Structure 1
Amino acid sequence: MSQTAHIPSHRKPRRSASKLALRAGVAGGVLSTIAVAGAAGPANAEPVTETIEMPTLGSLGTDLSSAVAASAEASEQEALDQSLEAQEAAALEKAAKDAKKAKAEADRKAEAERAEKARKEAEAKAEAERAAAEARAEARERASRDAARTQLTATSASDSSSDSDSSSSASESTQVASGSAAAIVAFAKAQVGDAYVSGGTGPNSWDCSGLVQAAYREAGIDLPRISYSQSSMGTSVSLSNLQPGDILYWGSRSGSYHVAIYVGGGKYVGAQNPSTGVVERSLDWDRPSGAVRIL
């Protein structure tokens, strides 16, 4: 170890390179001015009156500060631009995600609506098929019931005819319905006991002209719906010359207010009123005004 190692250093701190360069530049400028002045002429020449103005330390500091400020402002603007670009990119990404989510939700709702519509259509179809099946079953049951009533009526008429004496059979031969008349009479008798409803056309409730129209339809004959139109058809016959299937009317022929069907044996079947419904009555119970024959 050297003998001076323990002695602290008293050397002056080194000046920064920038300060030294600045001072060297200033000194060089001054010396150059002097040299130019000395070389301009002989010793007896007039002194130089023009000098070159060198930049001062103050102006250099100002220029340096301006440069630093401009650099800082440029850096700040660049950082701001980058921040705006990042925000725009994030906004675009969020908008794309929201649009994708909205489309997925719309597709889900549309699929749910299609499924619901299909379900309702299936239910409506099943209900229509069920109603049609019930209607067919009811029609078959009604036809079976009507056939049974018709068979019962025919059997009863046959039995009563066989039990009567020969003279009675001869007198009643014109009162036994046959062919289309038999079908009309059987249908009318089968409805005895049904309700009377104004405007009723069956199968279990009737008004007077509705019952007559339906009975004739059983024989394949179409009649008008209104009573006065029905009594205006066919040929007028007297009440003493009636045959089963003839239409009885009350009132005038072209202005009747009630109609019924003559079923033979001095009786008729008609839908009378709400209190009695469809009944079988003697001609004397409510004497009709006249009769017409369609068959």
Structure 2
Amino acid sequence: MSPNALIPSHRKPRRPSASSRALRAGVTGGFLTLAVTGATVPANAAEKPVSETQEMPTITTALATSAARSADTAEQVAFTYERQALQDSAFSQAAKAAEKHKAEAVKKAKAAAKKKAEEAREAKEAAQARASRSSERSTLSAPSSSTATGSTATLVAFLKAQLGKAYVLGSTGPSSYDCSGLTQAAFSQIGIDLPRVSQDQSTQGTQVGLDNLQVGDILYWGSAGSAYHVGVYVGGGKFIGAQNSSTGIVERPLDYDMPTGAVRVL
């Protein structure tokens, strides 16, 4: 027999390892593998754990739908919270505005009440003043000693004859007068010599109250000794005087310009 003759080996055929079979298998059971023909695995190479070769779970339609629903739910919850926050803010602002309007309304009401009270007080004071003037006029127009007789009649007649004449400062007649020039000229008709100016005339004779006037009493405006105007009481609650350059010599009721005081020289 030839030395090169094939001698059957007593060795068992070498079986491919599990890893080799897996590599040859191609795509098997959902795993992507590479087929390596004739590749051998080193003897010292250990097989990888199943966890390293196991495929990640495939995202199914149900899983995607569930995730989408979860996202929608989270979005809806966020929207609900945001809407609630906006509503709370709006309610807070409305409450503050209502409190502000209420405070303003209370303030206006108090101001209106105060104004009304002041108007009522002023009206009451005005009514009292009118009543007082009316009482004074009634007292001043009382008859008794207001009727002119004798020298007072002459005095009053002279004064009435001067009505309508002009007022001229510093004049003593006969065509024009100032206030003290008229009274001086009138009393000279009955023999009474008065000082020239109103300040001095206001201190002549006897001081009398306005509630006890008689015809012929000299009325003055201002204070005694420093009066700025004079006239003569002619009865019936009236006086005659040279008022000013606009009116001239006129007859007026006492409440036209209530005098300060009076003196009696008759």
Instruction: Name the TM-score, length of structure 2 as normaliser.
Output: 0.46
More helix by share: 1
RCO higher in 1 or 2 (8 Å CA, sep ≥ 6)?
2
Instruction: Name the TM-score, length of structure 1 as normaliser.
Output: 0.42
